[in-house]
C-alpha cells in the first residue's frame, strides 16, 4: 500500500490544468493516466476565447495549439442557415494535441505523470488498481472525464429514459472541404440530435454527433444513422461527401447532459465532466474542465482536503446558468417543431453572440 497526495486521476484537460496549477505553486502532484500514449479523445476540440484567456493565465503558450482559429458560428436546420461572428476568436484543436500540450506543461512544472495505470474502483479514497495495487491519497482529484470509475459513478437517472449517445468521426483534409467549412464552427440540427463540425489544426474535419439512443436504434447502425442524417441535412451531406465510409468511428454511451455534482466526500474533488456535463453544442466542455482544475487546485491549496465540499458546491453554482441555457438550446435544437423557432431567434442581431457569452463559465 502506497500513500500519495495530492493524486489526480485522469490526464485530460481538467486533470492537466489542476496538475499544472499545483506544480506551479510548488506542490508535487501525481497524475494517473490510463492511456499509455496521447489519444485523440472523442470529446472536446473547441476552445473558446474565455478558455484561451484561462490557459494563458496558467502559463500555456496558446500558439502551440495550432493555427486553426475560429471566427464564426453557423447554425443549420434542413435548408435554413444562420451565421454570426464569435465575440472573439476561438480555436479548434484535436484532443491529442491539446492534452499533449497541457500535460507536458504540467510535467515541466514538476508534476509527476504515470501512464498506463488503470483504476478499477474507488472506495473512501482507496484506489484499487488493475495490477492489484492500492493507493490511499489524502486528496483525490477525480478527472476521469465521461468515464465513470466504480464507486464514484454518476447517478444512473441522470441519463434519462432516452439517453444521449456521442459519435465522432474525422475525415479529410481536402481543399474543397476547407472551402465549405472555413474558419467557422458549424452546428447542424436534426431530429433527436445535432452535429458539430469544425476543421482542426491538421486540416481534417472533426464531426461529433450527440444523438438520442432511440434515433440510433431506429437506424440500426452508426453508418445507417450517418446516411439518414445526411438525407435530413443537405448542408451536412455536402460536407460528408468528403467522408469515406471506412473512416473510423468513436462512440460514448449514456452521456448525462445537464448533470451537476453539488456534493462530494471528504478529500474528493470532482473535475470536468465529473463535476458537470454541459450539452456539447455550447462548446464549453473544455472551458469547464480548465475552470474546474483551476478552482479545485486553488481550493485545496487554501484549505487542504477539507475544502472539497465547499469547492464542489461553489462550482456547481457557477455551472447553473451556462448549463441551464445550454440545456434549453439543446432541447429546442433536437426537437423537430422547436428547431425552426430556435433558428429564427438565432437570426436576430446579436442572438448567437449572446448565447455564446451566456453559455461560458465565469
How far is the C-alpha of 39 from the C-alpha of 232, rounded, in Å? Answer: 32
Please tell me the total number of residues recorded for the chain in this structure. Answer: 362
- The grid coordinates of residue 340 equal 425552426
Average pLDDT over residues 175-184: 96
Instruction: Give the strand pairing for 126-129 and 268-270.
Output: unpaired
Confidence of residue 5 (pLDDT cuts 50, 70, 90): low
Q: Which domains does the chain have, with CATH numbers?
A: 7-158+256-358 (3.50.50.60)
- What pLDDT, in 10s, does the model give residues 113-164? 999 999 999 998 899 999 999 999 999 999 999 889 999 998 888 888 899 9
> Does 35 have pLDDT greater than 80?
yes
Position 336 scores a pLDDT of: 93
- The grid coordinates of residue 108 equal 515541466
How far is the C-alpha of 3 from the C-alpha of 270, rounded, in Å? Answer: 20
Q: Give DSSP secondary structure letters for 214-266.
A: HHHHHH-SHHHHHHHHHHH-HHHHHHHTT--TTS-EEEEEEE-TT-B-----T
- CA end-to-end span of the chain: 40
Position 233 scores a pLDDT of: 96
Position 162 scores a pLDDT of: 94
Instruction: Give the strand pairing for 193-199 and 184-190.
Output: antiparallel
How far is the C-alpha of 247 from the C-alpha of 265, rounded, in Å? Answer: 42
Q: How does the average pLDDT of the chain come out, rounded?
A: 93
| DSSP H helix total and E strand total for the chain | 11, 16
Position 111 scores a pLDDT of: 96
- What pLDDT, in 10s, does the model give residues 232-269? 999 999 999 998 877 778 889 999 999 999 999 999 99
> Does 3 have pLDDT greater than 70?
no
Average pLDDT over residues 314-327: 97
Position 53 scores a pLDDT of: 96
CA count, 13 A, side-chain hemisphere, 14: 28
Confidence of residue 1 (pLDDT cuts 50, 70, 90): very low
- Assess contact for 21 and 13: CB atoms under 8 A: no
Confidence of residue 104 (pLDDT cuts 50, 70, 90): very high
Amino acid at each position: 500500500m502506497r500513500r500519495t497526495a495530492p493524486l489526480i486521476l485522469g490526464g485530460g484537460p481538467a486533470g492537466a490544468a489542476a496538475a499544472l496549477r499545483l506544480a506551479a505553486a510548488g506542490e508535487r502532484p501525481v497524475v494517473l493516466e490510463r492511456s499509455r500514449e496521447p489519444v485523440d479523445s472523442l470529446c472536446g476540440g473547441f476552445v473558446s476565447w474565455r478558455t484561451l484567456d484561462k490557459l494563458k493565465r496558467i502559463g500555456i503558450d496558446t500558439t502551440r495549439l495550432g493555427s486553426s482559429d475560429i471566427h464564426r458560428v453557423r447554425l443549420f436546420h434542413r435548408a435554413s442557415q444562420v451565421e454570426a461572428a464569435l465575440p472573439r476568436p476561438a480555436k479548434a484543436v484535436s484532443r491529442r494535441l491539446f492534452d499533449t500540450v497541457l500535460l507536458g506543461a504540467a510535467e515541466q512544472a514538476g508534476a509527476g505523470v504515470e501512464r498506463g495505470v488503470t483504476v478499477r474502483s474507488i472506495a473512501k479514497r482507496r484506489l484499487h488498481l488493475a495490477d492489484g495495487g492500492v493507493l490511499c491519497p489524502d486528496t483525490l482529484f477525480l478527472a476521469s472525464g465521461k468515464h465513470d470509475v466504480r464507486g464514484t459513478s454518476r447517478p444512473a437517472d441522470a441519463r434519462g429514459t432516452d439517453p444521449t449517445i456521442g459519435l465522432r468521426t474525422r475525415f479529410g483534409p481536402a481543399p474543397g472541404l476547407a472551402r465549405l467549412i472555413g474558419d467557422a464552427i458549424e452546428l447542424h440540427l436534426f431530429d433527436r440530435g445535432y452535429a458539430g463540425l469544425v476543421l482542426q489544426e491538421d486540416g481534417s474535419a472533426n464531426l461529433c454527433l450527440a444523438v438520442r439512443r432511440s434515433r440510433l436504434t431506429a437506424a440500426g447502425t452508426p453508418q445507417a444513422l450517418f446516411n439518414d442524417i445526411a438525407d435530413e441535412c443537405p448542408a451536412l451531406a455536402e460536407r460528408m461527401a468528403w467522408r469515406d465510409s471506412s473512416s473510423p468511428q468513436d462512440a460514448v454511451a449514456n452521456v448525462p447532459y445537464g448533470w451537476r455534482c453539488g456534493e462530494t466526500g471528504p478529500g474528493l474533488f470532482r473535475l470536468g465532466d465529473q463535476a458537470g456535463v454541459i450539452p456539447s453544442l455550447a462548446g464549453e466542455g473544455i472551458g469547464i474542465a480548465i475552470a474546474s482544475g483551476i478552482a479545485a487546485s486553488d481550493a485545496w491549496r487554501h484549505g487542504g482536503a477539507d475544502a472539497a465540499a465547499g469547492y464542489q458546491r461553489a462550482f456547481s453554482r457557477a455551472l447553473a446558468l451556462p448549463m441551464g441555457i445550454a440545456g434549453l438550446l439543446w432541447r429546442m435544437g433536437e426537437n423537430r417543431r422547436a428547431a425552426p423557432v430556435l433558428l429564427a431567434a438565432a437570426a436576430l442581431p446579436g442572438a448567437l453572440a449572446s448565447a455564446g457569452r451566456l453559455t461560458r463559465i465565469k
